[in-house]
């Protein structure tokens, strides 16, 4: 038999390279390729063992909804779609230091206090550190069991004996399987560890919460290869300089994926923010050139967010574009459309775009607000006081209606806004509660903002 060849695996994206290289061809990251032992492939020509023929089932049929373990933390229950499903495995991703361990310890303590059997396995911190955190969170008396362990075999043996209903593994990157001959934190180790934990979840019915660190670029280092194994992927995001944290479901086999939960990081842990619609408004209220309030929707909830743009004449050969909280590609598109369709020239300007409060905006409907902020910054004229903006901008320059127009308008009216700039073909409710102006395209938007 040929001796197994070693493979080279990118620790960022999981791509396999034929030889070592300084830069991964697949994702472009530097210094991420590591030599690993290959998993046993199915050799060519090997026959699969003969299988049994199975009876097929009709699609129609009664099926009860899955049982749920509600956590009592309503922002988390909202994101999971009503609580954890027994036997499911969830990946909790986020930057180091964002608050994953804090959130998970709070969740486990709440469940333990409600009489659930809960186990916290940490390979990142010792028992003393976990106790210190629990003390800070005021949950030191919760009947919660701890282990400081990284060896997957030991963890599995322990959990099989203890039979918890909920277990946290902190973190995937520290798991270590003795039969895999790569260092902890490599893709092979991560995959093997996650596989063992997911299998155990299905077998014992324990809700298994796997914490995974994300790289700066927003990818879970390595465990992107884990995303397909788990039932749900929740990202914990936010800016460490701000106190707000957002838990976002990017995959959920048991619920919607567009819901977010909002928390505030305080001195004694994370606190729920049940009504977040005005958290991300920045200086709204003061009239500043370059600021536009976007009436957004996250999941079922309207959320008003301020977009801030700054355009200054450049001193560089290639003007700078920097964006925080929004997609850089989208900014480039809006800039190009403004220039080509409305004659708003920003080619000689550095452009900065920031979403207030550390929020990340993903809706295409934010285009029009970004365009308004850019036009306002360039012209030095603030938007009319009390204005919200939403609509998607097409490459033709046309503004397209956003879904859930009524919810956006109602929330804006509720928060005291008096004017909304929306797409021409928006479906307006009978009585929106504020003045609504339709803009057909970016030219009309620019004209509207430069009027008066």
- The residue ranges that bind Mg ion (CB under 5 A) are 101
CB of 270: closest distance to ligand TYD in angstroms? 7
- Joined together, the tokens standing for residue 348 give 């000689």
Residue 130 DSSP symbol: H
CA–CA distance, 85 with 108 (Å, rounded to integer): 15
DSSP 3-state of 341: helix
CB of 263: closest distance to ligand TYD in angstroms? 11
CA–CA distance, 368 with 427 (Å, rounded to integer): 17
Residue 329 touches which of Mg ion, ligand TYD, none (Cβ within 5-8 Å per kind): none
CB of 100: closest distance to Mg ion in angstroms? 5
Residue 98 touches which of ligand TYD, Mg ion, none (Cβ within 5-8 Å per kind): ligand TYD
CB of 96: closest distance to Mg ion in angstroms? 7
Q: Which is nearer to ligand TYD, 110 or 387 (CB)?
A: 110
CB of 333: closest distance to ligand TYD in angstroms? 33
Residue 429 touches which of ligand TYD, Mg ion, none (Cβ within 5-8 Å per kind): none
- Joined together, the tokens standing for residue 66 give 């899955």
Residue 212 touches which of ligand TYD, Mg ion, none (Cβ within 5-8 Å per kind): none
CB of 236: closest distance to ligand TYD in angstroms? 7
DSSP 3-state of 427: coil
Q: Give, for 157, the enclosing helix (H) or strand (E).
A: helix 152-162
Q: Which is nearer to ligand TYD, 133 or 398 (CB)?
A: 133
Q: Which is nearer to ligand TYD, 36 or 75 (CB)?
A: 75
CB of 221: closest distance to ligand TYD in angstroms? 13
Q: Which residues sit at the interface with ligand TYD, rule CB under 6 A?
A: 94, 96-102, 133, 136-137, 265, 267-269
Residue 269 touches which of Mg ion, ligand TYD, none (Cβ within 5-8 Å per kind): ligand TYD
- Joined together, the tokens standing for residue 106 give 């709070």
- Annotate 72-108 with three-state secondary structure: CCHHHHHHHCCCECCCCEEEEEECCCCCHHHHHHHHH
Q: Which is nearer to ligand TYD, 118 or 291 (CB)?
A: 118
Span between the terminal Cα atoms of the chain, in Å = 82
CA–CA distance, 386 with 200 (Å, rounded to integer): 54
| Long-range contact set of residues 26-33: C-beta below 8 Å, sequence gap at least 24 | 27/219, 29/217, 33/8, 33/9
Q: Which is nearer to ligand TYD, 133 or 248 (CB)?
A: 133
Q: Give, for 167, the enclosing helix (H) or strand (E).
A: strand 166-170
Residue 96 touches which of ligand TYD, Mg ion, none (Cβ within 5-8 Å per kind): ligand TYD
CA–CA distance, 337 with 367 (Å, rounded to integer): 11
- 400, 410, 394, 260: which is closest to 336 by C-alpha? 394
Q: Is omega for the bond preceding 240 within 30 degrees of 0, making it cis?
A: no
Q: Which is nearer to ligand TYD, 147 or 421 (CB)?
A: 147
Q: Which is nearer to Mg ion, 172 or 368 (CB)?
A: 172
Q: Which is nearer to ligand TYD, 265 or 366 (CB)?
A: 265
CB of 243: closest distance to ligand TYD in angstroms? 8
């Amino acid at each position: 038999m040929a001796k197994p060849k070693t493979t080279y695996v990118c620790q960022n994206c999981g791509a396999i390279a034929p030889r070592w290289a300084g830069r991964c061809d697949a994702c472009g990251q530097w210094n991420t390729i590591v030599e690993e032992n290959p998993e046993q492939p199915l050799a060519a020509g090997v026959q699969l063992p003969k299988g049994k023929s199975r009876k097929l089932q009709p699609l129609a049929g009664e099926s009860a909804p899955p049982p749920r373990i509600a956590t009592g933390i309503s922002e988390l229950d909202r994101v999971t779609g009503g609580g954890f499903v027994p036997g499911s495995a969830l990946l909790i991703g986020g930057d180091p230091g964002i608050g994953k361990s804090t959130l998970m310890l709070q969740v486990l303590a709440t469940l333990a206090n409600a009489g659930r059997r809960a186990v916290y396995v940490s390979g990142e911190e010792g028992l003393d550190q976990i106790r210190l955190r629990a003390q800070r969170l005021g949950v030191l008396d919760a009947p919660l069991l701890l282990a400081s362990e990284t060896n997957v075999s030991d963890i599995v043996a322990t959990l099989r004996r203890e039979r918890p209903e909920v277990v946290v593994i902190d973190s995937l990157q520290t798991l270590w399987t003795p039969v895999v001959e790569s260092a902890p934190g490599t893709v092979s180790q991560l995959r093997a560890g996650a596989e063992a934990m997911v299998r155990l979840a299905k077998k014992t019915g324990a809700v298994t919460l796997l914490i995974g660190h994300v790289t700066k670029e927003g990818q879970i280092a390595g465990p992107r290869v884990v995303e397909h194994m788990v039932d749900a992927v929740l990202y914990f995001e936010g800016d460490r300089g701000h106190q707000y944290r957002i838990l976002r479901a990017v995959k959920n086999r048991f619920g919607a994926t567009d819901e977010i939960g909002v928390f505030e990081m305080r001195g004694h842990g994370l606190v729920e923010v049940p009504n977040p619609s005005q958290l991300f408004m920045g200086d709204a209220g003061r009239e500043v050139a370059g600021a536009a309030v976007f009436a957004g929707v996250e999941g079922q909830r309207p959320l008003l967010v301020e977009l801030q743009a700054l355009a200054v004449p450049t001193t560089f050969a290639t003007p700078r574009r920097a964006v925080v909280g929004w997609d850089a590609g989208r900014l480039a598109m809006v800039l190009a459309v403004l220039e080509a369709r409305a004659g708003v020239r920003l080619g000689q300007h550095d452009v900065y775009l920031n979403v207030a409060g550390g929020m990340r905006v993903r809706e295409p409907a934010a285009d029009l607000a970004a365009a308004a902020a850019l036009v306002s910054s360039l012209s030095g004229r603030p938007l009319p006081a009390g204005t919200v903006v939403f609509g998607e901008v097409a490459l033709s320059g046309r503004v397209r209606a956003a879904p859930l127009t009524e919810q956006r308008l109602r929330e804006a009216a509720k928060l005291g806004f008096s004017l909304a700039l929306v797409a021409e073909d928006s479906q307006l409710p009978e009585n929106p509660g504020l003045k609504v102006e339709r803009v057909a395209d970016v030219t009309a938007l620019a004209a509207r903002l430069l009027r008066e």
